[in-house]
C-alpha cells in the first residue's frame, strides 16, 4: 500500500492533502531561505540570506477535520512521520471559538506533533491541529461542504442543529481561508536591534502585513504574526516570528506597523465612542444573552428583533457593527442574515462567569456622560464626574439605584485579576485576613474558598456590606467572615495576619492614600503583612491597561494610577517596606509590604474581630 493509500484509508481527501502539503514543505523546503521564496517573493536572494542568517525554522502547522485525532496519527505514520500522542490545544480552540461563536465544548481541538526527518536547517516538526467534525463529513471541494441551515429562532430547529450548522460553516471557511496554517521561524539572537531589522525587512521589503502579536509566558517567547500578500497560491501565507523573552517595545512597534492607512486608523480611533455605545446597547437589549447556546443560539435578525424588542433594520445595523468588533460572527446562512455569538461576546452574557455586562452598562452610562467632560478634567485637574453629576461617583451610585447594583456587579468583572492572590495568603502563620474596603466580597470569597482554615474580616460602607455578605453566603464562606461597617480613613480592624487593599488606593490622591496606609499600619501587628492589588503605570513606554485607566481615574474618580516607585514612596512614608512585587492577570500587580522596624515598636494587640 502506498503512502497516499494509507493516508486515504483514515482521512478524507481534503485533510490528507493538507497534511501531505505540510510534509512536503518540511521535506523539500525546510530552510528559511527556501520557504521565503514562497512567503516573500519580493525579497531578493541577499535579503533572504540575511533573514536566514538570523532565523531557524521552528515548525509548520495545519488544521484538519478528521473523525478522531487517532486517525491523524495513523495518517502521519502512512506518510513516514512518527507522531506523538494528541494533546489539547486550547489556543487554537479559543481562536476558533472567537472567530465562529461556537461553544467550547463543541470544539475538542487537539494537536498532534510529528518529528520531521533529520537534516541541518530543516523544520523541527509538523503541528497538526485536529478538530473532529463527524456530522459535517466535508468533501475536499469547499463548495461541496453543506451550507449552514436555518438557525433556532428563525425557522425552527434545536441548539444542536445550530451548533452543527456553525461547525459546517467553520469547516467551509477554514478550508478556503487556511487561517491556522502557518510556518514559524525562531530568531537565534536576543538582540532587539536584530529583531527590529527582521521585522522591518518582512514588512517594508517583503510586503508582508503585520497581523498582531503577543507574549507567551509559559514558553517565555514573544510572537509576531505576519501575513503574506503574495503566497503564490500556497495556503501557508502566515508567518510567525519567535524570539525569546518579553519584548514589549517590539510588540508596540509591530502593532503600530499594522496601521498601514493613517487616515483609516485615525478614523477608527476617533469613532471609539461608537464602539462603547454599541456594546452598551447590545448589552442593554440582551443581544448576547439571546444568542447564547443556553438560549436560542444563532439567529436571524428578524427573529432576534422580536425577542429583544428592537426594530429589525436598526438591530441589523447594530449586529453588523458588533460583528466587526469580534463580538458576533456573521452575517451568514442561506439568506445572509444569521448571527452567532463569539467567545468574546460570551463575556457580555448576564450569566457569564465574571460577566462584563455591568461594565458595559456603566461605561456606556454614567461614565460615558462624565467622560464627555474630559476637557474640564484635563484643564482643571478635577474629576469631571463630580462636576457633571454634582457628587462623587461613590455617593452618586449609592443614592441612584439601580446604578449602585450595576457598579457593585461591575467590580466582579475584573475578579480574574485575583486568581494568584489566595495562594499568597494561604501560608503557615496566617489565620485571619482583613480586607479593607472589600467591596462586594469577591476577593474575600476567593481567599476563604481556597483555604477553609482561614477566617476573614471585611470592612466596607454600610450599603455595600450587605452585597458582600450575600456574595460569601452564596459560596458558603460567610460563617467564617466578620462584616464591619466603617471609614477606613479613620480606623481599621486590628489583629489580622494579612491585610488587603485591593484596587483601593488608585481611587484617592496621595494625601488620602497616606491616611489609609497609616490606619493600616496602626492596626497591624508587627509580623502582619499588607497586600496591595493595583495596576502599575509602566515607565518604559510598554503597553498597559493602567495608562487608559489613569485617564479614567482623573475624569471619573479623582484618583490616579501610579508607578511602582510612587507606591514604594507612599508605603515608606506610611511606615512600610515594600518586600515583593508579583504580576497578576489583566495587567495587575500584587505588592507585598511589611511594617518597618520603627513602625513595629508600638505593636497593636489582636482585636476581638480576630
Q: Which three cell numbers stand for residue 323?
A: 460583528
Beta bridge partners of 221: 216, 244
Residues 297, 162 contacting (CB under 8 angstroms): yes
Query: Cell numbers 491597561 label which residue?
Result: 545
H helical segments located in 452-528: 462-474, 510-523
Report how far residue 220's alpha carbon sits from residue 240's, in angstroms, rounded to the nearest whole number: 15
Taking CB atoms within 8 Å and a gap of at least 24, the contacts of 383-389 are 383/554, 383/555, 383/556, 383/557, 383/558, 384/555, 384/556, 385/555, 385/556, 385/557, 385/558, 386/558
Rounded distance between C-alpha atoms, residue 348 and residue 330, angstroms: 18
Give, in degrees to the nearest 5, the angle at Cα 444 between 590 and 358.
85
CA distance 372 to 537: 24
Neighbours of 474 (CB within 10 A): 11
Q: Is 473 helix (H, G, I), strand (E, B) or coil?
A: helix
Q: What is the phi/psi pair of residue 608, to 5°? A: -65, -20
Rounded distance between C-alpha atoms, residue 534 and residue 512, angstroms: 16
DSSP 536: B
36 close to 104: Cβ distance less than 8 angstroms: no
> Under DSSP, is residue 126 helix (H, G, I), strand (E, B) or coil?
strand
Q: DSSP per residue over 187-232, as a string?
A: E----HHHHHHHHHIIIIIT-PEEEEEEEETTTTEEEEEEE-S--T
Beta strand pairing call for 455-460 and 481-485: parallel
Evaluate the CA torsion angle 500, 503, 505, 508 in order and state its sign: negative
Judging by DSSP bridges, how do beta strands 432-436 and 498-502 pair with one another? parallel
The C-alpha cell of 391 is what? 457628587
Distance CA 525, CA 326 (A): 50
DSSP E strands, 270-311:
299-300
Separation CA 126–CA 73 (nearest Å): 12
Q: Is residue 605 annotated as a catalytic residue, yes or no?
A: no
With beta carbons less than 8 A apart as the criterion, state whether 245 and 190 touch: yes
Give the DSSP H/E element, type plus range, for residue 541: none
The residues that bridge with 338 in the sheet, in sequence order, are 300, 332
Q: Given the residues 254, 506, 552, 566, select the one marked as catalytic.
A: 506
Q: Residue 280 is placed in which grid cell?
A: 452598551
As a whole number of angstroms, the distance between CA 432 and CA 607 comes to 11
Among left, alpha and beta (phi > 0; psi -120 to 50; other), residue 440 is alpha
Active site residues: 506
Amino acid at each position: 500500500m502506498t503512502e497516499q493509500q494509507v493516508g486515504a484509508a483514515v482521512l478524507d481527501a481534503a485533510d490528507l492533502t493538507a497534511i501531505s502539503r505540510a510534509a512536503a514543505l518540511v521535506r523539500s523546503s525546510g530552510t528559511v531561505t527556501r520557504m521565503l521564496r514562497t512567503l516573500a517573493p519580493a525579497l531578493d536572494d541577499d535579503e533572504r540570506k540575511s533573514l536566514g542568517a538570523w532565523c531557524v525554522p521552528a515548525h509548520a502547522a495545519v488544521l484538519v477535520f478528521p473523525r478522531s485525532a487517532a486517525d491523524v496519527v495513523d495518517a502521519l505514520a502512512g506518510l513516514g512521520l512518527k507522531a506523538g500522542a494528541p494533546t489539547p490545544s486550547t489556543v487554537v480552540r479559543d481562536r476558533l471559538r472567537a472567530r465562529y461563536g461556537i461553544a467550547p465544548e463543541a470544539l475538542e481541538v487537539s494537536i498532534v506533533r510529528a518529528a520531521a526527518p533529520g537534516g541541518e536547517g530543516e523544520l523541527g516538526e509538523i503541528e497538526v491541529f485536529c478538530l473532529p467534525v463527524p456530522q459535517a463529513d466535508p468533501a475536499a471541494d469547499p463548495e461541496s461542504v453543506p451550507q449552514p441551515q436555518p438557525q433556532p429562532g428563525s425557522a425552527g430547529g434545536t441548539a444542536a442543529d445550530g451548533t452543527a450548522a456553525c461547525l459546517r460553516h467553520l469547516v467551509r471557511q477554514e478550508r478556503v481561508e487556511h487561517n491556522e496554517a502557518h510556518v514559524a521561524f525562531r530568531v537565534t539572537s536576543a538582540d532587539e536591534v536584530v529583531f527590529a531589522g527582521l521585522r522591518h525587512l518582512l514588512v517594508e521589503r517583503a510586503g508582508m502585513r503585520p497581523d498582531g502579536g503577543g507574549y507567551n509566558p509559559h514558553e517565555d517567547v514573544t510572537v509576531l504574526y505576519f501575513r503574506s500578500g503574495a503566497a503564490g497560491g500556497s495556503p501557508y501565507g502566515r508567518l510567525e516570528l519567535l524570539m525569546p523573552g518579553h519584548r514589549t517595545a517590539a510588540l508596540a512597534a509591530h502593532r503600530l506597523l499594522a496601521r498601514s492607512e493613517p487616515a483609516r486608523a485615525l478614523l477608527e480611533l476617533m469613532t471609539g465612542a461608537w464602539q462603547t455605545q454599541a456594546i452598551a446597547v447590545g448589552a442593554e437589549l440582551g443581544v448576547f444573552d439571546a444568542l447564547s447556546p443556553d438560549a436560542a443560539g444563532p439567529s436571524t435578525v428578524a427573529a432576534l428583533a422580536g425577542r429583544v424588542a428592537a426594530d429589525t433594520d436598526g438591530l441589523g445595523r447594530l449586529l453588523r457593527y458588533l460583528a466587526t468588533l469580534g463580538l458576533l460572527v456573521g452575517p451568514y446562512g442561506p439568506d445572509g442574515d444569521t448571527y452567532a455569538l463569539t467567545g468574546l461576546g460570551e463575556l457580555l452574557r448576564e450569566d457569564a462567569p465574571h460577566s462584563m455586562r455591568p461594565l458595559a452598562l456603566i461605561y456606556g452610562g454614567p461614565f460615558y456622560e462624565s467622560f464627555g467632560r474630559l476637557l474640564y478634567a484635563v484643564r482643571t485637574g478635577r474629576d469631571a464626574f463630580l462636576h457633571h453629576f454634582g457628587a462623587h461617583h461613590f455617593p452618586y451610585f449609592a443614592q441612584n439605584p439601580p446604578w449602585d447594583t450595576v457598579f457593585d456587579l461591575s467590580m466582579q468583572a475584573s475578579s480574574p485579576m485575583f486568581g494568584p492572590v489566595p495562594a499568597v495568603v494561604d501560608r503557615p502563620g496566617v489565620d485571619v485576613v482583613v480586607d479593607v474596603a472589600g467591596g462586594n466580597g469577591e476577593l474575600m470569597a476567593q481567599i476563604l474558598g481556597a483555604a477553609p482554615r482561614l477566617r476573614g474580616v471585611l470592612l466596607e460602607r454600610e450599603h455595600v456590606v450587605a452585597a458582600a455578605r450575600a456574595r460569601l453566603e452564596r459560596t458558603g464562606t460567610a460563617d467564617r467572615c466578620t462584616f464591619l461597617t466603617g471609614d477606613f480613613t479613620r480606623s481599621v480592624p486590628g489583629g489580622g495576619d494579612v491585610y488587603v487593599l485591593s484596587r483601593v488606593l488608585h481611587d484617592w490622591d496621595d494625601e488620602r492614600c497616606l491616611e489609609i496606609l497609616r490606619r493600616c499600619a496602626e492596626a497591624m501587628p508587627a509580623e502582619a503583612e499588607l497586600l496591595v492589588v493595583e495596576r502599575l503605570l509602566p515607565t518604559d513606554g510598554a503597553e498597559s491597561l493602567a495608562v487608559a485607566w489613569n485617564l479614567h481615574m482623573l475624569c471619573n474618580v479623582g484618583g490616579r494610577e501610579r508607578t511602582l516607585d510612587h507606591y514604594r514612596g507612599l508605603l515608606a512614608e506610611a511606615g512600610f517596606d515594600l518586600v515583593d512585587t508579583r504580576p497578576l492577570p489583566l495587567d495587575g500587580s500584587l505588592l507585598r509590604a511589611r511594617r518597618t522596624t520603627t513602625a513595629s515598636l508600638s505593636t497593636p494587640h489582636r482585636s476581638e474581630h480576630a
